[in-house]
């Protein structure tokens, strides 16, 4: 292989590697939000069931039934596999685990009854709590940066709140609304063609959801990207992403995936989990200094070889 070809090959290989997304291998927010039914990045306080899988990054206080709908275990890597994963301690009375395995990073201060016969493990190291938190915060920020795709948002008539989607080339429709729109009324869902994912970015730091939203749409996600507090007072049957918010869930509960910072859960969280499809961003990773030096050296060698006179020219 000539020096010129070698240099070009190495440069292309290095640049291709550097262009890979930071989390190209392993877990991602996109995979987790479609696997766990209830995702609490910090602490959960509840006596109400989650009918699907449950992840708690901090401490779980209380007790309830988990996963009677028999969703599959979720693999977080490093041998962490479970339908109930708690990064901190379990502090409560009784958890009735209906199906799947239980993994607890800290101690179990209460009873976890695994009625489905799965494994229960505590003091487990390696649960990627910090990574999962950053993944969902980044995901929420990413969605908040999407431009409105120009569909129709009917938000003036509080008795008939609905959206008519116009998707982009990736079959993703985006609406940007203010949180006050969701304070009251009836949410009648999104009119969208099959295969269209809908993102509704909701602004506001302190938001109350009072709309009655009985329409179940598993490919619709409401992204409360800047909410610090979120009060949900009625049935809401689309997925919710609120990774910065302290959330109180009241009313008729949720059918979809719920992502929160801290959660006080007084109503059920139920499947179906989120199944929207949002293509991952094309991200580039800055080249580290050693790689830049390597490329500089290769360029110098290539330049020297290119300028070296041939024997005939020297004569």
Confirm whether 275 is domain-assigned.
Answer: no
Same-domain check for residues 250 and 296: no
Same-domain check for residues 306 and 167: no
Same-domain check for residues 91 and 226: yes
The rounded distance, in Å, linking the Cα atoms of 56 and 33 is 13
Q: What is the pLDDT of residues 16-73, one digit of tens each?
A: 333 333 333 489 999 999 999 999 999 999 999 999 999 999 999 999 999 999 999 9
**Percent of all residues in the chain with a pLDDT value above 90, rounded to a whole number:** 76
Confirm whether 68 is domain-assigned.
Answer: yes
Confirm whether 276 is domain-assigned.
Answer: no
Q: Is the pLDDT of residue 281 over 50?
A: yes
Same-domain check for residues 135 and 67: yes
Q: What is the pLDDT of residues 81-109, one digit of tens each?
A: 999 999 999 998 899 999 999 999 999 99
Same-domain check for residues 233 and 290: no
Same-domain check for residues 150 and 67: yes
The rounded distance, in Å, linking the Cα atoms of 212 and 255 is 13
Nearest to 218, CA basis, from 171, 182, 254: 254
The pLDDT mean for the chain works out to: 87
Type and span of the H or E element at 120? strand 120-121
Same-domain check for residues 112 and 181: yes
Q: Which domain holds residue 11?
A: 3-19+284-314
Residue in the block written with tokens 């309830």: 64
Number of domains in the chain: 2
pLDDT for 5: 40
Nearest to 4, CA basis, from 314, 308, 299, 312: 299
């Amino acid at each position: 292989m000539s020096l010129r070809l070698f240099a070009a090959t190495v440069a292309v290989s290095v640049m291709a590697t550097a262009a890979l997304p930071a989390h190209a291998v392993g877990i991602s927010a996109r995979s987790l939000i479609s696997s766990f039914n209830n995702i609490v990045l910090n602490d959960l306080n509840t006596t109400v069931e989650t009918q699907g899988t449950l992840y708690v990054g901090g401490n779980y206080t209380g007790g309830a039934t988990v996963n009677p709908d028999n969703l599959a275990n979720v693999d977080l890597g490093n041998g962490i596999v479970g339908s109930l994963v708690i990064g901190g301690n379990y502090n409560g009375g009784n958890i009735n685990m209906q199906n799947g395995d239980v993994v607890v990073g800290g101690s179990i201060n209460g009873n976890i009854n695994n009625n489905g016969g799965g494994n229960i493990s505590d003091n487990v190291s390696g649960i990627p709590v910090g990574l999962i938190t950053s993944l969902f915060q980044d995901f929420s920020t990413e969605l908040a940066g999407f431009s409105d795709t120009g569909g129709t948002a009917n938000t003036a008539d509080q008795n008939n709140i609905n959206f008519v989607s116009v998707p982009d080339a990736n079959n993703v429709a985006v609406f940007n609304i203010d949180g006050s729109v969701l304070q009251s009324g009836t949410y009648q869902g999104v009119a969208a063609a099959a295969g269209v994912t809908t993102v509704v970015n909701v602004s506001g730091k302190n938001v109350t959801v009072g709309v009655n939203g009985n329409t179940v749409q598993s490919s619709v996600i409401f992204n409360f990207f800047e909410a610090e507090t979120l009060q949900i007072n009625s049935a809401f049957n689309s997925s919710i992403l609120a990774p910065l918010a302290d959330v109180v869930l009241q009313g008729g509960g949720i059918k979809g995936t719920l992502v929160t910072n801290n959660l006080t859960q007084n109503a059920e969280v139920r499947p179906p989990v989120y199944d929207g499809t949002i293509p991952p961003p094309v991200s580039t990773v800055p080249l580290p200094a050693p790689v830049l030096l390597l490329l500089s050296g290769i360029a110098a060698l290539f330049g020297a070889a290119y300028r070296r006179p041939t024997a005939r020219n020297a004569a």
